[in-house]
Amino acid sequence: MKKQNIKNIANQKYKFGFKTDIESYIFKKGLNEKIITQISKNKNEPPYMLEFRLKAFKHWLTMPEPRWSCTTYPEIDFQDIHYYSAPKTNPKKENLNKIDPKLKKTYDKLGIPLLEQKKLEGIAVDAIFDSVSVATTYKAQLMEYGVIFCPISEAIQKYPDLIKKYLGAIVPYTDNFYAALNAAVFTDGSFVYIPENTICPMDLSSYFRINTEKTGQFERTLIICEKNSQVNYLEGCTAPKFDTNQLHAATVELVALDNASIKYSTVQNWFAGDPETGKGGIYNFVTKRGLCQGKKSKISWTQVETGSAITWKYPSCILKGDDSIGEFYSVALTNHHQQADTGTKMIHLGKNTKSTIISIGISVGKAVNAYRGEVKISKAATNARNYTQCDSMLMGDQCDAYTFPIIEVNNASATVEHEATTSKISEDQLFYFQQRGIDTEQAVSAIINGFCEEVFKKLPPEFSVEATKLLGLKLENSVG
């Protein structure tokens, strides 16, 4: 009875698990120099890019697969993955009306309309389907403001100077195993350039969709904000239900110059695997890093993580410019067999730099949820300040939550605060609800919502509204 109830709660339905039936051009499985050369060729890349890829690949071959996170999964066979898959009909259409109706329908079903109004309204979208960008909306209109918003494959051809200067500058391929792999095989992603003194006239977003089974998605995103400029960027992702695991290894690099501000939000809703068996689902191994290069620059990461079989990511900030600010706000809900090991790094290099970390983890079913954070105050970072708060909630006795904070202070003028709480939904609490006629599903939502209401007060208001809505949906699904 008790077990049964908890099982029901973990039994959420995934709404985005459909597969689009579309003919695709797919590479043979496997990873070698030939495959990489072929990717580069397909993308019409200039030679410098192929060189970059091959160097990364050589380096990757020397690296062991990392196993230090709080997650368990069988060894990944990197030769058993397709590294390129693209719909046959659509090698990118500038005219949105000419997009394959099947793709258009797919994005409609996902709630991402690929259309433009006359006015700059809503949100500009770069839609990435397996290995290619299939549409980018409002591109021309944004260009009138000098804002470049295009697939990174296009930027590599059109803006080599910017790419050469920044690609791999924030996350070098030597950084880690998946950053190296990504540098070698990345296929598409978004490129954003905001010129000086420009507030981007609309929010930008990328929507990642993995459609083909046994295909890895290796996206690469680069956002550059020049002096006194600003942008809000939103990333979303979903995938069909497959029994096999799919690898999604992305690299995201952000650069903010003097007085520039980037807000990067993620709504991660990859397929999480079968609720009962844990079979299938996405391995989400991502490197995200922002460089606050300029004075008074600001980078803010906000994320709601509800999907993926395994999440492994630490969006970080390097606070190089004096008075720069880094923020990380995260809500991670793990259910049934999901595992999340997530957190951030705040590296304080400049004077008067400030960082805030708020991480909220909710574990249900047999899930594992770990926060891993590093706050480093370097010698030169006089008057640096950090505030960290981690709250976790556990439901049932089969899930786990861990916190691994690392704090390194090399300058005595720094102020570093760390707070952590763990709450648990007990069987007695659930029984109390039941005895009043309220079923366990409703009880769990009420308790989790109550917990969120308390801890969400610490989040920026607009993000807290968003997060509440998303979790509400997720929990609704979980009790449906």
Partner 1 sequence: MLKIKNLSVKTNNIEILNNLNLHIKAGEIHVIMGTNGSGKSTLAKTIVGHPQFKASKGEILFEGQNILKLAPDKRARLGIFLSFQYPTEIPGVNNASFLRMAYNTHQKSQGHPALDPLEFEDLLQNKLKIANISEKYLDRAVNAGFSGGEKKKNEILQMAVLEPKLAILDEIDSGLDIDALKSVANSVNSLKNKNNAIILITHYQRILNYIKPDYVHVIHKGQIIKSGDKTLAHKLEKKGYEWLITNP
Q: Single out the segment in contact with partner 1 by CB under 8 A; choices: 212-220, 396-404, 405-413, 439-447.
A: 439-447
- The residue among 421, 406, 349, 397 whose CA lies nearest residue 372 is 406
Cβ 69 to partner 1 shortest distance, Å: 30
> How far is residue 232 from each of residues 51, 355, 413, 418, measured CA to CA in Å?
32, 19, 33, 28
Q: Which pair of tokens denotes residue 74?
A: 């069988």
Q: Interface with partner 1 includes 435 (CB under 8 A)?
A: yes
C-beta of 23 vs 453, nearer to partner 1 = 453
Q: Interface with partner 1 includes 423 (CB under 8 A)?
A: yes
Cβ 432 to partner 1 shortest distance, Å: 4
Residue 370 and residue 311: Cα distance in Å, rounded? Answer: 10
Q: Single out the segment in contact with partner 1 by CB under 8 A; choices: 72-80, 161-169, 240-248, 444-452.
A: 444-452
The correct pick among 57, 149, 207, 451 for binding partner 1 (CB under 8 A) is 451
Question: Under a CB-based contact definition with an 8 Å cutoff, are residues 320 and 282 in contact?
Answer: no
Residues 214-253 that bind partner 1 (CB under 8 A): none
The correct pick among 144, 437, 457, 461 for binding partner 1 (CB under 8 A) is 437
- The residue among 469, 266, 267, 274 whose CA lies nearest residue 366 is 274
Residues 117-176 that bind partner 1 (CB under 8 A): none
473: Cβ contacts below 8 Å, ≥ 6 apart: none
Q: Interface with partner 1 includes 427 (CB under 8 A)?
A: yes
The correct pick among 105, 431, 465, 480 for binding partner 1 (CB under 8 A) is 431
Residue 358 and residue 343: Cα distance in Å, rounded? Answer: 9
Q: Interface with partner 1 includes 453 (CB under 8 A)?
A: yes
Q: Single out the segment in contact with partner 1 by CB under 8 A; choices: 183-191, 200-208, 329-337, 427-435.
A: 427-435
Q: Interface with partner 1 includes 446 (CB under 8 A)?
A: yes
Q: Interface with partner 1 includes 432 (CB under 8 A)?
A: yes
Cβ 418 to partner 1 shortest distance, Å: 22
Residue 389 and residue 344: Cα distance in Å, rounded? Answer: 12
Q: Interface with partner 1 includes 450 (CB under 8 A)?
A: yes
C-beta of 3 vs 379, nearer to partner 1 = 3
Q: Single out the segment in contact with partner 1 by CB under 8 A; choices: 16-24, 92-100, 104-112, 420-428.
A: 420-428
Cβ 414 to partner 1 shortest distance, Å: 33
Cβ 444 to partner 1 shortest distance, Å: 11
The correct pick among 243, 439, 462, 476 for binding partner 1 (CB under 8 A) is 439
Q: Interface with partner 1 includes 479 (CB under 8 A)?
A: no
Q: Single out the segment in contact with partner 1 by CB under 8 A; choices: 287-295, 323-331, 345-353, 434-442.
A: 434-442
Q: Single out the segment in contact with partner 1 by CB under 8 A; choices: 152-160, 259-267, 358-366, 447-455.
A: 447-455
Q: Interface with partner 1 includes 454 (CB under 8 A)?
A: yes
Please tell me the count of residues contacting partner 1 according to CB under 8 A. Answer: 25
Cβ 233 to partner 1 shortest distance, Å: 32
Note the residues at the interface with partner 1 (CB under 8 A): 1-2, 423, 426-429, 431-440, 442, 446-447, 449-451, 453-454
